[in-house]
């Protein structure tokens, strides 16, 4: 991801009290289509946060919503990804002054997979990608035109592994 991308679904921080249901995700097998592991933003709006929000705010929202990653936005463009792992390094004394932009992974450095590639892949292929790269999340990009792509979804390694074990 080497530029800012518009969200595939409506963007915006979710209201603090709007909790999502935590239904058990379906069981996965290595031979299943890879799209089954994706959090599809066309069906379930992404969790987003502004880049100037405090680290305390994003940590609170992650806890409230039961998620481990937020897309970081500026207006309607995705500028990065912040995960629970990113916030762990923030020291209590400095955390109050730190902003999401200080800890996020910029879009140019976020590991991504193309929607077309994902449609042809299996869960086993995603396992190979995660093991080989060591990343914890993959952003799914959908190409709209030669110069414009949207964030279509997000794949969480830990969630996928839980679904494989269930």
* DSSP summary character for residue 54: B
Quote the pLDDT of residue 2.
36
5-11+27-165 CATH: 3.10.580.10
- 136: helix, strand or coil: coil
All residues at 6 or more sequence positions from 64 whose CB lies less than 8 Å from its CB, including other chains: 16, 19
pLDDT digits (tens, 9 = 90+) for 115-155: 999 999 999 999 999 999 999 999 999 988 888 889 999 99
Query: Among 48-57, 90-99, 119-128, 137-146, which is the least confidently predicted range?
Result: 90-99
In the chain, domain spans: 5-11+27-165
User: Residue 7's pLDDT is what?
Assistant: 39
Q: What share of the chain in percent tops pLDDT 70?
A: 80
User: Would you give the end-to-end CA distance of the chain in angstroms?
Assistant: 32
By the 10 Å C-beta count (0-12 exposed, 13-18 middle, 19+ buried), 160 is classed as buried
- Condensed to tens digits (0 to 9), the pLDDT of residues 10-34 reads 344 333 333 444 566 689 999 999 9
């Amino acid at each position: 991801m080497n530029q800012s991308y518009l969200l595939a679904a409506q963007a915006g921080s979710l209201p603090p009290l709007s909790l999502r249901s935590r239904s058990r995700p379906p069981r996965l097998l290595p031979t299943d289509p890879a799209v089954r592991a994706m959090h599809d933003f066309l069906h379930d709006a992404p969790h987003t946060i502004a880049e100037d929000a405090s680290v305390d705010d994003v940590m609170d929202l992650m806890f409230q919503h039961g998620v481990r990653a937020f897309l970081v936005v500026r207006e309607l463009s995705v500028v990065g990804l912040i995960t629970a792992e990113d916030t762990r390094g923030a020291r209590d004394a400095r955390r109050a002054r730190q902003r999401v932009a200080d800890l996020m992974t910029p879009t140019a450095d976020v590991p991504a997979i193309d929607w077309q590639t994902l449609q042809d892949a299996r869960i086993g292929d995603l396992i190979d990608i995660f093991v080989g790269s060591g990343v914890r999340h993959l952003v799914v990009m959908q190409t709209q035109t030669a110069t414009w792509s949207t964030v279509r979804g997000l794949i969480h390694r830990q969630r996928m592994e839980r679904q494989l074990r269930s």
